[in-house]
Chains A and B, each alone.
Chain A
C-alpha cells in the first residue's frame, strides 16, 4: 500500500519560546503507511505534529507536503467551553462538507448515529474519540493525524481504538501518523515506529524499535509484557512472527 511520499521533513528544528524542543529531524511518511511516534513527555512529539500540520513554523530545516494533501486531524481532546453550543451533527461538517452518502457511511462505520443530536462538550471520552475520528475522516483525507488520541481510554478500549485505526487505514487507504506516550499497545499496529526525545533516537519496525538499546534506555523493559498483550490480540489474524508487516 505504500507509495508516494505525503510529508517529508529535512533537518527539522523546532523551538517554543526560544527553547529548542526538537532538532535535526529527517522524516517522511508515504501513502497508506501507519507511523507512530513515541517519546516521553516533553520529547517534542506534539510540537512535531504541530509542525507537520503547519501550526508551528520551523526554526530550522524544512517541511514538504505533497501539493493538495488532505489532512484529517484528531486532537487529543477539544477544549470546548460548555458555552459553545455544538451538536455532533454540526461538528462533523464543520470543516468539510461531504456528500450525504459519504457522511452517512462515516457515521455508520464509527457507530455514532445515536449521539448525532448530542452536544460535543457533553460526550464521554470514548464517544468523543469516535466523533473526532469521524470528523477527521470526512472528506477522505490522504493523511490521518492523531495526537495522543487514545488518552483517557482504558486499556481494552485503547487496544480496540488502535485496531479500528488499522481497519480504517485498510478500508480507506489513508496514511496514519500518530503520536503517543502510551507504549503499551500502540506499537505493533504500526508499519514504522519513531522514537523521539529531542531528536530521533531510533526508528524502524515495532520489533526493531522495542529491542533497540536507545528505546530500552528511554522506556525500560517494563512495557514489554503489555506490548505482548496487544500483539496477542493482534496476532490472531496473522501468522506468527508477521506482526504488522503486512502491506
Chain B
C-alpha cells in the first residue's frame, strides 16, 4: 500500500503537469511564453489580495489572473506593442503582489510558498481543486481544439473560414488562468510557465502533427513531475524547481538524441 501522503503529492504533481503540457503547446504555437509569465505573476497579486480579503486563495488567483489577462488582451496592440504591455503587466503584478504581502505583514504569510510552490503541503481539498481545475482546462481545450488550432495558424484565414479567433483566444486565457490558480501551490508562480513551455518543447522533437505534440507534451510533463518529485525526495531539494530541472533534462536529452540521430 502506497503511503497516502506520497499518493497525494504524486497525484497533484502529475495532474498539474498533465494539464500544463497540452496547454503549453498552444503557448508555444501562439508565441505566448511571456503571457504565461504574466499570468503567473498576476497570480501572486491574487494571493496577496485573497489574504487581505479572506477570499479563498484559488478564487483570488483565478480572478486576478483573468482580470490581468483580459486587460493585456485588450490593451495589447492598442496602446503599445503587446510585448511592452505584457512586460509592464508582468512586473507590476509581481511587484504589487510582493508589496501588498509585506503591507499585510502581521498575517505572517510565507510568500516563498507561492513563489516556489510547496507541494508537500497539498491536502485532500487541494487535490480535489487540482483535479477539477485540470479537468475544466483540459475539457475546454478538447472542446475548443479545432477553433483554437485554426486561430493559431492564421487569424484572417480563421475568420474567413467561419471561426472566431478572438473568442478562442479569450477561452484559452481562461484555461491558463484556471491552471495557474490550481497549480500555484504545487509548482509556484515562478515555475508554472516552465511547466507550460518545456514539456511542449520536448514533445515537438517527436511530433509531426499538433495532436501528437499535445499528447506527448502531457506525457513529458508527467515524466518530469515524477522524476522531479523523486529527486526532490531523494536529495531534499525544493520540489517545484526540481520538477523544472527534470523537464530541462528531458528536453536536453530529446534535443541531443535528435541531433545525434541526425549525424548518423
Contact = CB atoms under 8 A, between A and B. Distances in A.
Nearest to A18: B78
A99 interface: no
A83 B159 contact: no
Given A85-B210, A85-B212, A79 B154 contact: yes
B31 to A, nearest CB: 6
A73 B152 contact: no
Nearest to B157: A73
A63 to B, nearest CB: 13
B28 A75 contact: no
B208 A55 contact: no
Interface size class of B (residues with CB under 8 A): 20 to 34
Contacts, number: 70
Interface of B: 28-29, 31, 78, 146, 149-150, 152-163, 201, 204, 207-210, 212-213
Interface residues of A, number: 28
B153 A94 contact: yes
Interface in A89-106: 90-91, 94-96
Given A90-B210, A119-B208, A84 B152 contact: yes
Nearest to B161: A95
Chain B contact residues, majority secondary structure? helix
11 contacts: A17-B78, A71-B161, A72-B160, A73-B156, A75-B157, A84-B28, A84-B152, A85-B207, A85-B213, A87-B209, A95-B163
B208 A87 contact: yes
A86 interface: yes
A78 interface: yes
A73 B159 CA distance: 9
Contacts of A117: 208
A73 B210 CA distance: 21
A21 interface: no
A203 interface: no
A50 interface: yes
From B29, B150, B153, B163, residue with most partner A Cβ within 10 Å: B153
Contacts of B31: 81
A55 B159 contact: yes
